[in-house]
């Protein structure tokens, strides 16, 4: 007769194996996708706009304009967002997004890929399963192109700057929340399944102590390891966070032009760190593991 | 202090059993992944669920909703299928067989067309289920999902039994390969305080790590100039045991010591091993030194196999209890737990 404990072990394994996947906040990514984008700031895709907001969000809300849609390169329910959408320099792109909604026309788009469990669905989202047209501007999604830097040939990379009138979340609150998040990861030879709880704190303001030199990303962007602080020269809240600089945007230009800056006052948005996911599942094989959610911060504005 | 060596011996044995059980679990999971044992068990369960109708089962597996879960090479079948996907596939296959795609009636028509088949009889019964007073009537999809879930409970039981047999077999292989002989390990632990101390420290480290409520990060970025190079933190697949734990196992197990002992049996006095002589005078009189050695080794290995088969959670639980007893009976000059100091900085190892 086998002991109760041994049974518990096997039942646990079997539960993991056969428990229904129908949990919220589960996303299944193709490994090839993860490998392609783990060291890129942006994604190039062809975006079919299903719905777009009539007006940008008020600056006090975040100043973004949302558009829902689909892209064959992404293969997931998604939205795309323009930062500082009320500014006249973004008007051509905002107008195009609004005019193209519902026309079922795939339009070239470049922007920051962003996987974040902010608007999770009840059902698992499996990459490259058929994606039906979105029913509104904010369908359940874990994937975003946010911020957009180019749409329909029109450049809005200059939109990555401070949104006047908007107050980002404070560093202690936001990073405290990010650090508490967990993810359950498992992989097969071709796919990686990631489950996590709903995430929050989209925009966060902090000071970054840059560690080491910037390294180039595959799309021309840059990445730095940094310590995160709430105040200039203050206590480190989190260390060794990847900061992502989007090619051609004001933050990336400032990083290049500055002579080895040691500290930056930053507004950023968090996203899943695919570099960490890739390294972990490569070493972890097909085992299931519950770990801290790996994240990195996309720099969307550098404050003076 | 009286009692402490005995306790440390018990801790040492529990810890070694835990490490060996972890090895078995890791090997078992690897084999399960390679052989597709989970997928095969699931397939067998679904076949049983549809009344052994191979062609119907194949139709479900070939349905795009399920076939998309396969490896692109088509060699490996899915290890799990979401109930919703199973239900939708079944409904679509049944409707197609009724040649009236679409609508609730077409599902019944499909079942009517195949009413002599076991799967149709089972599904008809499932769909005929009515809600209890006060309960909301379930949709057809929900009923099929519930039927699938019930079936999967049985599949979990099968898998559990299979895993149990594998664990027993692996325990035998691992224990014999390493010569993890309980009697010999006990002698070493009893006679060598240095080894005993190391084992207890390692056990303490392991229990503290396992008891930590904070999940580990996935990777650590340790080099400032290499932000694209994350170092995986304790991935399950590659290091169930830490290097120091592996070293420790090496000290307590292995064949070289017993082989030397065997060779020396002809020239040395009986049972003159590295540790204390545990054989009784009557044993020495009734058995030749060789027979005694063989019996002792086999019995020691048998004890370890039985122990390791209890699984890692069992030994982790026992180890924790012994550690708690030891902690409660700490010597006055022994320092309290040194690992409770907290760092002011949260390491964002991701």
What's residue B82's pLDDT?
79
Give the residue from A112, A134, A158 where a domain finishes. A158
Looking at the domain assignment, is residue A262 inside a domain? yes
Q: With an 8 Å Cβ cutoff, are B159 and A9 in contact?
A: no
* Tokens found for residue A32: 């090839």
Looking at the domain assignment, is residue A134 inside a domain? yes
Q: With an 8 Å Cβ cutoff, are B164 and A2 in contact?
A: yes
- Mark out the alpha helices in chain B (DSSP H runs): 4-35, 37-49, 54-62, 64-67, 83-97, 104-113, 118-127, 140-178, 182-191, 193-211, 243-252, 256-264, 281-286, 289-308, 312-328
Same domain, A65 and A145: yes
Contacts of A211 in chain B (CB under 8 A): 224
A 65-104 near B (Cβ less than 8 A)? none
DSSP H helix total and E strand total for chain A: 6, 17
- Contact A188/B at CB under 8 A: yes
Residue of B nearest to A124 (CA): B82
CA triple B258-B263-B267, angle to 5 deg = 125
ipTM of the complex: 0.86
Inform me whether the pLDDT recorded for B336 exceeds 50: no
Looking at the domain assignment, is residue A14 inside a domain? no
Looking at the domain assignment, is residue A286 inside a domain? yes
Q: With an 8 Å Cβ cutoff, are A223 and B25 in contact?
A: no
Same domain, A55 and A146: yes
Nearest CB to B82; choose among A124, A224, A238: A124
Same domain, A31 and A149: yes
Tally of CB atoms within 10 A around B61: 18
Q: What are phi and psi of B266, to 5 degrees?
A: -70, -25
Looking at every residue in chain B, the average pLDDT score rounds to 79
What are the structural domain ranges in chain B? 4-33+161-213+237-331, 37-154
Pairwise pLDDT comparison (B335 vs B291), residue with the higher score: B291
Looking at the domain assignment, is residue A30 inside a domain? yes
Same domain, A107 and A203: no
- Contact A196/B at CB under 8 A: no
Q: What are phi and psi of A27, to 5 degrees?
A: -130, 135
| Tens-place pLDDT, residues B177-203 | 999 999 999 999 999 888 898 899 889
Inform me whether the pLDDT recorded for B340 exceeds 50: no
Tally of CB atoms within 10 A around B262: 15
Looking at the domain assignment, is residue A72 inside a domain? yes
Q: With an 8 Å Cβ cutoff, are A10 and B159 in contact?
A: yes
Same domain, A253 and A201: yes
What is the total count of domains within chain A?
Answer: 2
Same domain, A202 and A129: no
Looking at the domain assignment, is residue A2 inside a domain? no
Q: What is the CATH number of the domain that holds A88?
A: 2.40.50
A–B CB contacts, 8 A cutoff, strictly below? 193
Give the residue from A123, A158, A193 where a domain finishes. A158
- Bridge-based pairing of strands B231-232 and B219-220 is antiparallel
Question: Residue A105's domain spans which residues?
Answer: 22-158
Q: With an 8 Å Cβ cutoff, are A294 and B228 in contact?
A: no
| Tens-place pLDDT, residues A73-103 | 999 999 999 999 999 999 999 999 999 999 9
Q: With an 8 Å Cβ cutoff, are A5 and B317 in contact?
A: yes
What's residue B250's pLDDT?
87
Same domain, A183 and A296: yes
Same domain, A113 and A200: no
| Tens-place pLDDT, residues B115-136 | 788 888 888 888 887 777 777 7
CB A261 within 8 A of CB A121: no
Give the residue from A112, A135, A158 where a domain finishes. A158
| Tens-place pLDDT, residues A11-66 | 444 344 333 333 346 899 999 999 999 999 999 999 999 999 999 999 999 999 99
Q: Is B238 helix (H, G, I), strand (E, B) or coil?
A: coil
Looking at the domain assignment, is residue A141 inside a domain? yes
Q: What is the CATH number of the domain that holds A204?
A: 2.40.50.140
- Measure the CA–CA gap between B196 and A13, rounded to whole angstroms: 33
Is the pTM value of this prediction over 0.90?
no
Inform me whether the pLDDT recorded for B231 exceeds 90: no
Same domain, A182 and A67: no
């Amino acid at each position: 007769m086998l002991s109760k404990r041994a049974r518990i072990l096997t039942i646990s394994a079997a539960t993991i194996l056969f428990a229904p996947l129908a949990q919220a906040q589960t996303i299944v990514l193709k490994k090839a996708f993860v490998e392609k984008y783990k060291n890129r700031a942006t994604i190039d895709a062809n975006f079919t706009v299903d719905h777009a907001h009539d007006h940008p969000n008020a600056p006090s809300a975040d100043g973004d304009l949302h558009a829902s849609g689909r892209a064959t390169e992404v293969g997931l329910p998604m939205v795309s967002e323009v930062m500082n959408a009320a500014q006249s320099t973004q008007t051509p792109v905002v107008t195009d997004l609004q005019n193209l909604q519902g026309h079922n026309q795939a339009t070239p788009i470049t922007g920051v890929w962003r996987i974040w469990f902010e608007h999770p669905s009840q059902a698992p989202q499996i990459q490259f399963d058929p994606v039906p047209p979105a029913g509104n501007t904010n369908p359940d999604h874990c994937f975003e192109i946010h911020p957009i830097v180019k749409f329909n040939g029109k450049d809005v990379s200059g939109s990555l700057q401070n949104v006047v009138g908007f107050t980002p979340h404070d560093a202690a609150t936001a990073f405290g929340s990010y650090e508490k998040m967990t993810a359950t990861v498992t992989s097969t030879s071709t796919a990686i399944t990631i489950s996590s709880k709903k995430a929050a704190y989209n925009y966060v303001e902090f000071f970054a102590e840059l560690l080491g030199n910037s390294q180039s990303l595959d799309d021309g962007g840059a990445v730095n390891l940094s310590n995160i602080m709430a105040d200039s020269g203050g206590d480190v809240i989190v260390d060794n966070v990847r900061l992502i600089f989007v090619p051609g945007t004001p933050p990336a230009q400032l990083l290049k032009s500055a002579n080895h800056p040691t500290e930056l006052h930053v507004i950023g948005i968090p996203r899943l760190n695919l570099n960490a996911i890739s390294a972990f599942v490569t070493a972890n094989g097909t085992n299931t593991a519950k770990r801290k959610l790996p994240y990195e911060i996309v720099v969307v504005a550098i404050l003076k | 202090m009286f009692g402490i060596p005995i306790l440390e011996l018990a801790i040492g044995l529990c810890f070694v059993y835990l490490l060996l059980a972890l090895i078995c679990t890791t090997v078992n999971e690897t084999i399960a992944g390679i052989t597709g044992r989970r997928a095969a068990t699931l397939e067998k369960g679904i076949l049983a669920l549809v009344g052994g109708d191979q062609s119907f089962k194949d139709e479900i597996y070939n349905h795009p909703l399920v076939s998309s879960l396969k490896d692109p090479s088509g060699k490996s079948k899915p290890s799990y299928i979401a109930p919703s996907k199973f239900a939708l596939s079944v409904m679509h296959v049944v409707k197609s067989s009724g040649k009236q795609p679409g609508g609730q009636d077409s599902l019944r028509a499909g079942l009517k067309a195949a009413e002599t088949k076991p799967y149709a009889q089972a599904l008809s019964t499932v769909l005929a289920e009515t809600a209890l007073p006060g309960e909301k009537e379930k949709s057809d999809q929900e009923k099929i999902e519930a039927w699938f879930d019930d079936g999967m409970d049985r599949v979990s039981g099968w898998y559990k039994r299979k895993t149990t047999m594998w664990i027993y077999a692996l325990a035998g292989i691992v224990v014999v390969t390493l010569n993890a002989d309980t009697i010999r390990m006990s002698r070493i632990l009893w006679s060598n305080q240095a080894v005993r101390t190391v084992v207890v420290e390692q056990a303490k480290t392991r229990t503290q790590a396992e008891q930590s409520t904070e999940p580990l990060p996935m990777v650590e970025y340790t080099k400032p100039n290499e932000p694209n190079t994350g170092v995986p933190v304790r991935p399950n697949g590659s290091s169930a045991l830490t290097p120091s734990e592996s070293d420790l196992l090496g000290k307590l197990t292995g064949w070289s010591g017993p082989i030397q002992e065997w060779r020396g049996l002809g020239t040395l006095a009986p049972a003159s091993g590295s540790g204390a002589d545990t054989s009784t005078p009557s044993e020495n009189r009734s058995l030749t030194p060789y027979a005694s050695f063989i019996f002792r080794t086999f019995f020691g290995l048998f004890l370890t196999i039985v122990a390791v088969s209890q699984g890692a959670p069992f030994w982790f639980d026992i180890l924790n209890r012994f550690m708690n007893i030891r902690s409660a009976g700490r010597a006055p000059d022994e320092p309290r737990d040194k690992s409770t100091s907290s760092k002011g900085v949260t390491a964002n190892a991701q």
